[in-house]
Structures are given as C-alpha cells and as structure tokens.
Structure 1
C-alpha cells in the first residue's frame, strides 16, 4: 500500500467513527506550522502540512548523530523514521534537542514525534502515545571469548562483573549473585573485561552489537540473554492515536518488505527490529 493511501484510509476511518475533525480544522501554528492544540487531530495536521517534525538528540550514536560531528544527521532511528515518512508521503523536519528536554518539547508542540530510542514502560504509556516498537533488545551477558565457565546468569554467583551503578543491569548482576565493580559506562566495563580484571558484564545487546560492528576482532562474546527485552518506540503527544496508527501501519509494511531488517543490518549486523 502506498504512503498517502495509508494516511487517507486512516483519516477516513477516523472520520466515520466520529473521532477526527476535517482537514480544514483549526490548528495553532508555530514557525514550523504544525504545532497542535489538544483538540486537533494529529493525523489531519500532519497530512495537511505534508511535514512530520521529529525531535531527536543528534548526539546519540549509532541512533541519532552527525558523522564526524559535523556531517548530515544519520543513525538507526533517523533511517527508520525517514523510511516511515516516505511510506506516509511526508517531508521530514528534524529538531535536535537534548534528552532532558525532549519530552517537554513534545508536550509544547515543537515536534510531532520523538525518534530517539524511547523505551516503552508503564509510565510513558500512561503519559504519551507510543507506537509499536521498532527496536527490540534484550540484556546480554558478555564474557571474554576464551571464558567457558560462564554460560548463564546463574553462573555469575561468586563472579565479578563491571556495571554502571546507575543502570538496571547493576541490579540484574547483583541479583544473580555477582560482586559488582562500579564503572562509568560501557567502555570502561569492556576494558576491565578484556584485561581479565572482571569475569563478565551485563549490558544492552545493542551496545554490544554496535561495539562489535566497530571492532569485529574484540575478544568478547555473548553467552546468554535476558528474558525481558527492552523495546523502543516513537513517542507522540497523548491523544495522537490516529497518527500513531498511520506510523504503525508504515512500520508493518517496512517490516514485511525487509526494510527494517536492512537498516538493522547496516548498523548492528543483525535484525534488531523484532
């Protein structure tokens, strides 16, 4: 199904159900021309403007960043939202925003959606309209390549792991019985692991895959994954259900035609979209 037809079909369905206003409905404009009031239909606004305004960091490699710090905006999330916009026959406008202010920007109507690895959780589902996930990533138990003693989280009992003290992986490792050595982040954890100063680290699988993409000869490997993966979606202002439905239909098409898998392979070497 082509992009504009996706929007037209969903808008028509919403109108029949009495859930949408007409394309001539009033909207409050900003410089971008698509800021909304709560009574606006997000789908109608975006369709009428022909532009999808996207909030993103632009400093979050490999998801949203500038190559070399000064090139065009690129990354996994950028490629996915670009493919979605093409399906919906929409132009894209990016608004780069620091993470601590990105949800406030969404609430203020500065952009229509956030494309920045927004993890799905109960609190966000209550406060925002979230699409179906386009990234699915379990936690990974990572050890040195020559390690044969650790093959599961249960094997961490009595072992030492390197974890950021503010991450949820700290709790996973500690619950498994590991002695946790606090580190500032992934780079330091890998350094300690490769030096043999710790036995393992538990971290997000995407982080591992990105690292391996840059350093394919690294002496580390995944031996187990957690059961509950992290899922990331596009975030929209609460009540933007019709626009979220259009994006979900586009994501389904992109999954079925292999586009999401292709983008995943480009950045991570395997399909992380489902």
Structure 2
C-alpha cells in the first residue's frame, strides 16, 4: 500500500512538474535592427535578450518563430504563436483584439530623410506633398493617416528597403521609431538623417490572445517584467543595445 502511495505521489509530482514547464512560442521578424535581427546566422537583439530574460524568471522554454512582420498578427490570432516580440505598439484597435502586457519600451515616431534634406521636414506639416515609406503592417501607417494633413501625404508600404529607397531618393522620407532610426543611421553606410522631433509617443508591449490561456500567459509574463524592471535587468538590456534606458517613460 505504501509503495502504491509512493508511486502515486511520484506520478503526481512528475505530472505537476511537466505542467509547470511550458514552451513560449514567440513570433518576430528577425529583420528589425536592433530589436530583432540575424547576424552570422544568429537571431539576436533587444527583444531576444528580453524574452530570454523573461524565460529565466518563469522557467519556461522559448521557441522563436521568425516570419515577415505583416504575418505576425495573423499567426497570433491563429494560435501558431503565443505572443509577438517585435516592438508591437499598443493601439486602441489592437487592445480591442488582444490582451497586452505592461509596456516595456517607450519611444516616438520619427521621420528620416536623405542626409542633406533635414531642413525640408522640420515638422509633420512638411510631409505634405511628399512620398513617405513605412513598414508594411506597422503602426506608423496608422499614425500618418491620423495626421491632419494625411490626405496630402503619399504613404508607401514596404516589406523592406525603406532606408535604401530613401537614401536613393525613390521616396522622400520614411517613418520608424526614433530609437531604431538612430541606431540604423549609426550602423548603416547609407546617407540618412533624422528630421525634426518625434511626433507621437509609442508604448510597446507583448500581445496575447484574449482567452483564458492567453490571459494566464499575459499575467505570468507581467509578473516577470515587473521583476526585470525592479532588479535592473531590463535597463541593462536596454543599455546594451541602445546606450540608454528606453524602458521607462520620460
């Protein structure tokens, strides 16, 4: 009898341990330096370090799933991934669909032009009559369409090469977050420059499906993010990739 009880207890302990260990499937593009990119066949960046730090707190395994940025939301809705770590901006439309974690990046939308053309775009009003590129599926297209002069802006959506086409004069400017724009300019040989100041605050967070499983994952991740903020790990990851702390609101 005692042996049977012991075996039952062992089985329960094993089952419990298995239930606690989970795999978090995280979608990202792998093409958005310095947040998520591939170098020497290694997926790396701020988002990669951030998710790995979360997994250390929760004890979960991480499976990174890379695909085009425009396909990430659909993959989350279909259940192929659990969340997206690709600088996903919180918007009212997305909040209506998904359960977001607490914000972990605070940034702003930035206009970038060919070097030498900085004076042509001092404010967003100067985008009137210009062609402006944005990444397909990003929130920057929505931000541009919400501007009072949106009808006068020729907005072009790109899967890639927005920086190259701006440098070559094929479009007048592109819009990205300020942090990534500054990093891109610093790392790239392309003649590009920031134009004006950021025109919208951006809060980035991890989206989850708004069901029981998604909410449970969101709550677990939120607790881990809180710990990473409190113990300074999140700030250290930010300093590593950006030389500043972009994880707190100014």
TM-score in terms of structure 2 length: 0.67
Structure 1 residue matching 2:247: 3-state secondary structure: coil
Shift of 1:131: 0.8
- For 2:75, which of 81, 92, 102 is the aligned residue? 102
Deviation by residue 1:26-76 (Cα, 9 ceiling, x = unmatched): xxxxxxx9xxxxxxxxxxx898432342232463433444433x33x3232
* Alignment match of 1:244 (pick from 198, 218, 227): 218
Give 1:178 shift: 5.0
8 Å contact kept, 2:77–2:209: no
Structure 1 residue 92 and structure 2 residue 61: aligned?
yes
Residue 56 of structure 1 corresponds to 27
SS of corresponding position for 2:222: helix
1:80 maps to 50
Q: Which of the residues 214, 217, 240 maps onto 2:187?
A: 214
Q: Distance in 2 between matches of 1:53 and 1:199?
A: 40
* 1:1-274 to 2 correspondences below 5 Å: 48-57=19-28, 59-62=30-33, 63-68=35-40, 70-71=41-42, 73-88=43-58, 90-96=59-65, 98=67, 99-100=71-72, 101-106=74-79, 112-146=82-116, 147-157=118-128, 160-164=130-134, 167-168=141-142, 170-171=144-145, 175=149, 179-180=153-154, 182=156, 184=158, 187-192=161-166, 194=167, 200-215=173-188, 218-236=191-209, 238-239=211-212, 240-274=214-248
CA–CA distance in structure 1, aligned partners of residues 239 and 135 of structure 2: 31
Q: Measured at CA, do residues 252 and 199 of structure 1 come closer, stay the same or move farther in structure 2, by a change above 3 Å?
A: same
State the aligned residue count.
224
What are the Cα deviations for residues 171-217 of structure 1, in whole angstroms up to 9, with x where unaligned? Answer: 3578267553747466345543x456765443333441341242278
Structure 1: stretches of 5+ with no match in the other structure: 1-23, 25-32, 34-44
Q: 1:208 to 1:127 in 2, by over 3 A?
A: same
Shift of 1:238: 1.9
TM normalised by structure 1 equals 0.62
Unaligned regions of 5+ residues in structure 2, if any?
A: 1-11
